[in-house]
C-alpha cells in the first residue's frame, strides 16, 4: 500500500484496478523468477547460448495527457535469440512476438515469427554466412545493416555473405541479399568491401609508427521501374573510399561517399514529387588526440542528398542502407533528450568538438580525488543550394554551410568527487533546435532556444547501499515552456533497485497543460536474469522521417520487463 | 584455390560496378497505356493538419490524364492529423467508416501520407507509401489477367428531398469462389477548407480544394455479402440515403467496390455521380 500512496502523492489517479494489476504483475514476476531457478544443465554436442526479453505494458486511458484508450489494455513486445556453435560453425535464430505491438511501434509488427536465422562457418581464410546477417562498410555512409529494437528499427539482410582474408592485412567482403521489412523482405542489394592495413600487408611498413588503413565499399541496389511517367534508374550504385591513419596519440578517419541518381520518397520536392535525379555526396572526417587524462575529438560531416534505401518509396525507418547519425552529443539525462537532433539526409553540414580533461588528484584543481571537465560543441546547418528548374532539383557546393542553422548545442560537464562516498556531477546545456526543419513541421514552428541545468549526486551509503539523485531544469520561452524534473534512485547491490522521478511541465503557457509525468520503477537482478516493473506517464511525441509523420501517443500505465540470458 | 577465390571476388566487384543505371534527360516518358475494363481504387489516408499530404494527393491527380476513369481516388481523413482540436483546422472531415478502416489497417499508425491500392498486399503490407502509388496503380491497371466482373451504378437523386436511390449491378465474367462483399461509399469532391501544405508559404492554406473526400457509407464499413459470384451471374443491390444538407450534392458521387473477404483485395470498383 505504501507504493500506491506514493503514487497518489504525485497525482490523483482515477484507476479502477491498479491494486489487482500490481498484484498480478508481482505474482507473474515471482513466477518467472522461480522458473529461472529451475534452469537445467543441458549436455549437447554443441554450445547453446541465448538471450530473451519481454516488455509488457498495461495501458490506462488518461485524457489529461492525451493518452488514448487501448482496446487490448495489455500490449507486449518480446524476442529471444538462440545461437548454436561448434568449432568454426555457428547457427542461430531469433523469434519475435508483438501481441500486439506496444504503443509507438508500427502495427505492421503485429504477430509472431522467426525473423532472423543464419548459419555461418569458417574454412581457412574464408567465412561464409547463409541467411540473415548484420554488416557495416566503413562508418556506414553507404551501408549499415543493424537493429535498434527499442525504436522498432531492424534492417537485417537475408542472403549470402562471404568474408575473405587472403593475406595478412587484406580483408574482403561481398554479399547479395534482400532486406527485412517488418515480417517480410524487400529490395535486392549487392555489396562489396575491401580493406588493406598497409603496415600488416607490407613487410617494409611493419615497423612504421604511422599506421594506415585504406578501404573502399561499393553497394548497388535493384528495383524495377514500374512508374508510368518517370524513367527511373533500376540499379542505383554508391561507392565510398575511406582512410584511417594512426600515429602515437593522433588518429584520423575520413570517408567520402558518392551515390548515383536515386529519385526517392525522401528527396522528393513539390516540383519533383517522385524525387530528384541529382547524385548524392557525403563526407565524414574525424580527428582524435588522446593521452592520459585528456581527450580531444574534432569531427565534420557533409551530407548532400544521401538517403539510400533498398526501396525508393520507403519512408519512416524502413529499409535504410545508408547510416547517417547525428554528429551531436548523445544525451542521457531526460530533459536533455527533449530536443534531439536528427540528421537531415537531404542536406546538412555539421561540426562537433569534444574535449575532456581530468585534473589529477593532488593538483590544485584536482583536490584529493581529481576533477573531470568535459566540453562539447556541435552545430548543424543546411546546405548552400541554388534551385534549378529541372529534375536534378538543385545545385550545391561541397562542404559549404548554408545560412540556415538547424541545431546548435553547448555542453559543459563537471564531475567532482568530494570524498570517497560522495560525488557530484554538474551539467549545463544550451540548445538551439529548429523544430520546423528537424521534425519537418513547416513554417509555423520556429527555433526553440533552451537552457538546461542538471545536478546529479551519487552517494554510497554502505558497501551495498547507494543512492543517486538528479535535479534537472529546462528553461525555454518556446514550445511548452519550462520543465523541472527530480529523480531519486536507491540501489541495494547486487540485486535490487528502486527509482522514482517526476517531470513537471510547470512553465506551460496553457494552464491545463501544466502537467506532471511521474514514473516509478523497481528492479531485481539475479545473475543473468533481470525483472523491472514500474508505473509511469509518458509524454506524447511526433516522429517525422522523410516526409511521413506519425504520432507516438502519450501513455499512462504499468510496465513489466524481463530480460535473461544463458 | 586461393587464386580462384581472389578472381571470383574481383569478378564480383566488377559485376557490382556495372550494376548502375545513369538516367539522362528527358527524365519523363510519354506514355500511352492500354487500360482495360479493370479499375483501381486508391485510398489516400490524409488529414487537414498533415502538411506532407497535399503533395501525395497532387501526385495522384497527375496520373488522371494517363488512366482517366480507370483511376478512382478516395481521400480518407482519419487519425491524428485529421483531429479538429487546433484552429484553424476545425472542420471535421472524419467519418466513422474512415476511422474504422484507418485503425484496422494501421495506416495513420504508420504515418501520413500513406494509402492502399485496391487493398493489395505488397511485401506483406497493405500500406503503400505515396511515392509508390504510381507504380502500384500501373501494376494493377496493366494486369493482363481476365477482369472478373463489371460493376454498374445507377443513381436516382431528388435534389428537393435530398433522397438518393442507388442500384449497384455486378456482372461476373469468371466464377469467383470464396466470400465477397460489396461496399457502397459516398464521396464529395472539391470541398474548400483549411489544409496544411508544406509546399506553399504560408503553410496554412484557407481555401484548399479537398478532392473526393469520403463522406460516408450506404452499407457500413465492410459492406454486404454477395453470394452469387459464378460466371454469368448478375447480382444487384439497392440502397437509399438522405444526403445531409451540409454536403454539396452537385459534387457527390458513389464509389462501389467488390472485395475478397479473405485477402481484403478489391477486385473491381466503379464510380458514378449522383446527378
Residues of B in contact with A230 (CB under 8 A): 27-29
Question: What pLDDT sits at residue A546?
Answer: 52
Among the partner residues A226, A231, A314, nearest to B135 by beta-carbon distance: A226
CB pairs under 8 A between A and B: 184
Q: Count how many residues are written for chain B.
A: 275
Average pLDDT on B19-37 reads: 78
CB contact under 8 A, B110 and A232: no
Instruction: Sort strands A447-460 and B71-77 into parallel, antiparallel or unpaired.
Output: unpaired
Question: What pLDDT sits at residue A36?
Answer: 40
Residues of A in contact with B5 (CB under 8 A): 126, 164, 166
Q: What predicted TM-score, i.e. pTM, was given to this entire model?
A: 0.86
**Distance, CA of B10 to CA of A217 (rounded, Å):** 13
How many H helices and E strands in chain A? Answer: 4, 30
Best of A229, A267, A388, A392 to substitute, by most chain B Cβ atoms within 10 angstroms, is: A229
**Distance, CA of A385 to CA of A305 (rounded, Å):** 12
CB proximity A339 to B under 8 Å: no
pLDDT at A137 over 50: yes
CB contact under 8 A, B50 and A194: no
For A260-277, the pLDDT digits (tens) are: 999 999 998 888 888 999
For A478-508, the pLDDT digits (tens) are: 989 999 999 999 999 889 999 999 999 999 9
Q: Which three cell numbers stand for residue B264?
A: 481484403
Q: Which three cell numbers stand for residue A445?
A: 514552428
CB contact under 8 A, B52 and A440: yes
CB contact under 8 A, B124 and A261: no
CB proximity A277 to B under 8 Å: yes
The dihedral built from the CA positions of residue A221, A224, A230 and A235, taken in this order, carries a sign that is positive
Q: Which of B 14-33 lie inside 8 A of A, CB atoms?
A: 15-17, 19-23, 25-29, 31, 33
For B139-148, the pLDDT digits (tens) are: 999 888 999 9
Q: Are B243 and B144 in contact (CB under 8 A)?
A: no
Question: Residue B67's closest chain A neighbor by CA?
Answer: A228
Q: Give the H/E segment covering residue B272.
A: strand B266-273
Mean pLDDT for chain A?
88
Residues of B in contact with A264 (CB under 8 A): 131
pLDDT more than 70, % of chain A: 90
CB contact under 8 A, B125 and A184: yes
Alpha-carbon gap: A534 to the closest alpha carbon of chain B (Å):
26
As beta bridge partners, residue B49 has none
Give A309's DSSP letter.
B
Question: Residue A437's closest chain B neighbor by CA?
Answer: B198
- The model's confidence at residue A367, banded by pLDDT at 50, 70 and 90, is confident
CB contact under 8 A, B19 and A235: yes
CB proximity A316 to B under 8 Å: yes
Residues of B in contact with A274 (CB under 8 A): 59, 131, 134
CB contact under 8 A, A549 and B50: yes
Residues of A in contact with B132 (CB under 8 A): 265, 311-313
> Cell numbers 494493377 correspond to what residue?
B140
Q: Which of the two residues, A527 and A34, has the higher pLDDT score?
A: A527
Question: What pLDDT sits at residue B37?
Answer: 87
Question: What pLDDT sits at residue A301?
Answer: 95
Q: Give the H/E segment covering residue A189.
A: strand A184-197
CB contact under 8 A, B19 and A391: no
- The model's confidence at residue A548, banded by pLDDT at 50, 70 and 90, is low
Average pLDDT on A206-210 reads: 89
What's the half-sphere exposure (Cβ side, CA atoms, 13 Å) at A131?
A: 13
Lowest-confidence pick of A460-474, A534-548, B194-208, B251-265: A534-548
Residues of A in contact with B137 (CB under 8 A): 228
Give residue A547's region: left, alpha or beta (phi > 0; psi -120 to 50).
Answer: left
Residues of A in contact with B67 (CB under 8 A): 228
Average pLDDT on A122-133 reads: 95
For B72-97, the pLDDT digits (tens) are: 999 999 999 999 988 899 999 999 99
How many H helices and E strands in chain B? Answer: 6, 13
> Cell numbers 529451475 correspond to what residue?
A38
Q: Which of A 384-403 lie inside 8 A of B, CB atoms?
A: 390-391
pLDDT at B45 over 70: yes
Among the partner residues A110, A390, A548, nearest to B111 by beta-carbon distance: A548
> Cell numbers 505504501 correspond to what residue?
A2
Average pLDDT on A98-121 reads: 92
Alpha-carbon gap: B129 to the closest alpha carbon of chain A (Å):
6
Q: Which three cell numbers stand for residue B29?
A: 516518358
Question: What pLDDT sits at residue A23?
Answer: 43
Alpha-carbon gap: B194 to the closest alpha carbon of chain A (Å):
15
For A401-438, the pLDDT digits (tens) are: 999 999 999 999 999 998 889 999 999 999 999 988 88
Q: Are A372 and A358 in contact (CB under 8 A)?
A: yes
CB proximity A195 to B under 8 Å: no
Question: What pLDDT sits at residue B5?
Answer: 60
Q: Count how many residues are written for chain A.
A: 566
Mean pLDDT for chain B?
91
Residues of A in contact with B127 (CB under 8 A): 108
Residues of A in contact with B201 (CB under 8 A): 443
Question: What pLDDT sits at residue A26?
Answer: 43
Q: Angle at CA A55, nearest 5°, toward A49 and A60?
A: 175
pLDDT at A440 over 80: no
Question: Residue A225's closest chain B neighbor by CA?
Answer: B135
Question: Residue A234's closest chain B neighbor by CA?
Answer: B21
Task: Give φ, ψ of B225 to 5 degrees.
Answer: -70, 135
pLDDT at A368 over 70: yes
Question: What pLDDT sits at residue A554?
Answer: 85
Distance of CA A195 to the CA centre of its chain: 27
As beta bridge partners, residue A214 has A196, A243
Question: What pLDDT sits at residue A15?
Answer: 31
As beta bridge partners, residue A358 has A372
**Distance, CA of B185 to CA of A486 (rounded, Å):** 53
Residues of B in contact with A185 (CB under 8 A): 123
For A228-253, the pLDDT digits (tens) are: 888 999 999 999 999 999 999 999 99
For A271-312, the pLDDT digits (tens) are: 888 899 999 999 999 999 999 999 999 999 999 999 999 999
Q: Angle at CA A462, nearest 5°, toward A460 and A467?
A: 35
CB proximity A312 to B under 8 Å: yes
Average pLDDT on A41-51 reads: 81
CB contact under 8 A, B139 and A226: yes
ipTM of the complex in this document: 0.81
Through-space distance between the first and last CA atoms of chain B, rounded to whole angstroms: 78
Q: Which three cell numbers stand for residue A467?
A: 543512492
Q: Which of B 181-200 lie inside 8 A of A, CB atoms?
A: 196, 198-200
Q: Which of B 62-101 lie inside 8 A of A, CB atoms?
A: 62-63, 66-67, 79-81
CB contact under 8 A, B109 and A229: no
Q: Which of the two residues, A44 and B179, has the higher pLDDT score?
A: B179
CB proximity A264 to B under 8 Å: yes
Radius of gyration of chain B (CA): 22
Amino acid at each position: 500500500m505504501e507504493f500506491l500512496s506514493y503514487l497518489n502523492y504525485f497525482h490523483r489517479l482515477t484507476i479502477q484496478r491498479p491494486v489487482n494489476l500490481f498484484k498480478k504483475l508481482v505474482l507473474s514476476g515471482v513466477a518467472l523468477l522461480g522458473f529461472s531457478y529451475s534452469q537445467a544443465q543441458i549436455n549437447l554436442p554443441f554450445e547453446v547460448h541465448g538471450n530473451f526479453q519481454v516488455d509488457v505494458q498495461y495501458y490506462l486511458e488518461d485524457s489529461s495527457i492525451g493518452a488514448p484508450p487501448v482496446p487490448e489494455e495489455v500490449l507486449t513486445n518480446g524476442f529471444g535469440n538462440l545461437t548454436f556453435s561448434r568449432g568454426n560453425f555457428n547457427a542461430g535464430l531469433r523469434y519475435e512476438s508483438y501481441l500486439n505491438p506496444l504503443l509507438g511501434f508500427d502495427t505492421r509488427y503485429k504477430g509472431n515469427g522467426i525473423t532472423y536465422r543464419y548459419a555461418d562457418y569458417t574454412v581457412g581464410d574464408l567465412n561464409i554466412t547463409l541467411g540473415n546477417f548484420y554488416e557495416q562498410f566503413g562508418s556506414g555512409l553507404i551501408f549499415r545493416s543493424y537493429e535498434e529494437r527499442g525504436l522498432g528499427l531492424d534492417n537485417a539482410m537475408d542472403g549470402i555473405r562471404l568474408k575473405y582474408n587472403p593475406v595478412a592485412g587484406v580483408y574482403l567482403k561481398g554479399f547479395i541479399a534482400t532486406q527485412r521489412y517488418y515480417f517480410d523482405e524487400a529490395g535486392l542489394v549487392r555489396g562489396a568491401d575491401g580493406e588493406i592495413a598497409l603496415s600488416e600487408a607490407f613487410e617494409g611498413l611493419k615497423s612504421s609508427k604511422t599506421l594506415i588503413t585504406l578501404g573502399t565499399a561499393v553497394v548497388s541496389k535493384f528495383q524495377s521501374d514500374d512508374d508510368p511517367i518517370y524513367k527511373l534508374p533500376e540499379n542505383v550504385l554508391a561507392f565510398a573510399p575511406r582512410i584511417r591513419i594512426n600515429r602515437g596519440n593522433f588518429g584520423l578517419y575520413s570517408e567520402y561517399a558518392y551515390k548515383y541518381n536515386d529519385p526517392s520518397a525522401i528527396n522528393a520536392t513539390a516540383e519533383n514529387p517522385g524525387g530528384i535525379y541529382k547524385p548524392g555526396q557525403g563526407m565524414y572526417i574525424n580527428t582524435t588526440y588522446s593521452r592520459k587524462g585528456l581527450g580531444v575529438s574534432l569531427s565534420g560531416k557533409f551530407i548532400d542528398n544521401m538517403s539510400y534505401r533498398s526501396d525508393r518509396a520507403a519512408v519512416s525507418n524502413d529499409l535504410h542502407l545508408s547510416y547517417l547519425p547525428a554528429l551531436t552529443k548523445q544525451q542521457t539525462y531526460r530533459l536533455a533528450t527533449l530536443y534531439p537532433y536528427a540528421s537531415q539526409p537531404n542536406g546538412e553540414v555539421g561540426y562537433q568538438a569534444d574535449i575532456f580533461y581530468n585534473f589529477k588528484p593532488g593538483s590544485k584543481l584536482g583536490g584529493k580525488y581529481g576533477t573531470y571537465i568535459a566540453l562539447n560543441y556541435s552545430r548543424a546547418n543546411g546546405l548552400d543550394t541554388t534551385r534549378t528548374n529541372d529534375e536534378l532539383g538543385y545545385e550545391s557546393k561541397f562542404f559549404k554551410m548554408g545560412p540556415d542553422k538547424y541545431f546548435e548545442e553547448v555542453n559543459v560537464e563537471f564531475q567532482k568527487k568530494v570524498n570517497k562516498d560522495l560525488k557530484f556531477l554538474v551539467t549545463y546545456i544550451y540548445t538551439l533546435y529548429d523544430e520546423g526543419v528537424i521534425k519537418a513541421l513547416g513554417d509555423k514552428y520556429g527555433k526553440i532556444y533552451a537552457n538546461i541545468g542538471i545536478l546529479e549526486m551519487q552517494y554510497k551509503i554502505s558497501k551495498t547501499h547507494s543512492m543517486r539523485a538528479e535535479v534537472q531544469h529546462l528553461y525555454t520561452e518556446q514550445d511548452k515552456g519550462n520543465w523541472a524534473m527530480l529523480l531519486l534512485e536507491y540501489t541495494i547491490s547486487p540485486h535490487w533497485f528502486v527509482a522514482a522521478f517526476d517531470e513537471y511541465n510547470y512553465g506551460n503557457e496553457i494552464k491545463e497543460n501544466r502537467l506532471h509525468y511521474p514514473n516509478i520503477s523497481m528492479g531485481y537482478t539475479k545473475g543473468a536474469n533481470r525483472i523491472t516493473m514500474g508505473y509511469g506517464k509518458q509524454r506524447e511525441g511526433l516522429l517525422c522521417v522523410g516526409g511521413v509523420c506519425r504520432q507516438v501517443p502519450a501513455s499512462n500505465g504499468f510496465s513489466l520487463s524481463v530480460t535473461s540470458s544463458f | 584455390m586461393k587464386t580462384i577465390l581472389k578472381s571470383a571476388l574481383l569478378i564480383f566487384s566488377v559485376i557490382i560496378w556495372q550494376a548502375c543505371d545513369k538516367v539522362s534527360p528527358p527524365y519523363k516518358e510519354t506514355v500511352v497505356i492500354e487500360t482495360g475494363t479493370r479499375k483501381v481504387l486508391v485510398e489516400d489516408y490524409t488529414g487537414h493538419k498533415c502538411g506532407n499530404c497535399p503533395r501525395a494527393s497532387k501526385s495522384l491527380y497527375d496520373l488522371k490524364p494517363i488512366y482517366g476513369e480507370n483511376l478512382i481516388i478516395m481521400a480518407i481523413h482519419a487519425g491524428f492529423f485529421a483531429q479538429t482540436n487546433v484552429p484553424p483546422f476545425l472542420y471535421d472531415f472524419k467519418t466513422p467508416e474512415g476511422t474504422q478502416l484507418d485503425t484496422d489497417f494501421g495506416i495513420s499508425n504508420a504515418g501520413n501520407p500513406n494509402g492502399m491500392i485496391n487493398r493489395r498486399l505488397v511485401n506483406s503490407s497493405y500500406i503503400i507509401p505515396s511515392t509508390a502509388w504510381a507504380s502500384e496503380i500501373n501494376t494493377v491497371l496493366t494486369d493482363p489477367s481476365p477482369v472478373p466482373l463489371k460493376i454498374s451504378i445507377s443513381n436516382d437523386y431528388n435534389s428537393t428531398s435530398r433522397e438518393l436511390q442507388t442500384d449497384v449491378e455486378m456482372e461476373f465474367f469468371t466464377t469467383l469462389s470464396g466470400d465477397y462483399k460489396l461496399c457502397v461509399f459516398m464521396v464529395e469532391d472539391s470541398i474548400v477548407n483549411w489544409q496544411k501544405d508544406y509546399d506553399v508559404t504560408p503553410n496554412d492554406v484557407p481555401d484548399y480544394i479537398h478532392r473526393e473526400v469520403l463522406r460516408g457509407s450506404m452499407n457500413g464499413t465492410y459492406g454486404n455479402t454477395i453470394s452469387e459470384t459464378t460466371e454469368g451471374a448478375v447480382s444487384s443491390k439497392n440502397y437509399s440515403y438522405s444526403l445531409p444538407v451540409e454536403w454539396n450534392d452537385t459534387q457527390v458521387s458513389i464509389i462501389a467496390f467488390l472485395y475478397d473477404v479473405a485477402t481484403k483485395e478489391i477486385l473491381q470498383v466503379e464510380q458514378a455521380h449522383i446527378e
